[in-house]
Amino acid sequence: MSDQRRGDRLDQPRTPRNLRLRRVDAETFGRWAEGIARGMGTANFLVYMTLILVAWFLWNTLAPANLRFDPYTFTFLTLVLSLQASYAAPLILLAQNRQADRDRIALDEDRRRATLQKADTEYLAREIAALRIAMGDVATRDFLRSELTRLGEELDEAAERRRKLERRQQEREARRTAGAERLDEPRDELDGDFARDGHYEG
């Protein structure tokens, strides 16, 4: 099943069916190819390659003629650089294919996680909506505070009204008591009762 899938992939070379080649561990070779491609893409490789080329030119130009192994036109150097380029390109492509495989797996995993997070978010949104609906009939803390404040003000007003009524009743009682004392006093000429009334009672 895996061989059939591998044969259908466009990023892998197709092997002839009638030619049996020794199989190489793709994972090990791929790691090795990625290491080489990663090393070729660094500044150290460029610096060392430049130093080797300069030394090559200087040796084959300034050294004695019998010690030069690649005289001018540098045919051997051209062959070496061609071989390097011919091997570097497939190694880089193999590293890119492996990176593309990893990116595809990471993308599938991200998509799966995003789907799970979306489902969790929708579930939480439904639960929050249900809680809001259920909390619609429940008294909140601010509502209770406002109601208690209103009840306290009403109680204060009722107590103030009660005090005013008690004060009025005390005043009425005081007036009634004062009126009763005045009525109980004997009428005589000394207090001026008869002069006040305008006639004498005999």
Digit-coded pLDDT (tens) for 161-200: 999 999 999 888 888 887 766 555 555 555 555 445 555 4
Supply the pLDDT for residue 13: 67
- Name the one residue in this structure whose structure tokens are 């909506």: 129
User: Does residue 201 register a pLDDT over 60?
Assistant: no
- Average pLDDT rounded to a whole number, residues 48-60: 93
Is residue 106 within 8 A of residue 48, CB to CB? The reply is no
pTM: 0.45
User: Does residue 105 register a pLDDT over 90?
Assistant: yes
| C-alpha dihedral (87, 91, 97, 101), degrees to nearest 10 | 160
Write out the two tokens for 146.
């406002």
Supply the pLDDT for residue 1: 46
3-class secondary structure per residue, 76-141: HHHHHHHHHHHHHHHHHHHHHHHHHHHHHHHHHHHHHHHHHHHHHHHHHHHHHHHHHHHHCCCCCH
Rounded Cα–Cα distance for residues 71 and 48 (Å)? 22
Write out the two tokens for 30.
């791929």
Is residue 49 within 8 A of residue 40, CB to CB? The reply is no
Q: What is the mean pLDDT of the chain?
A: 81
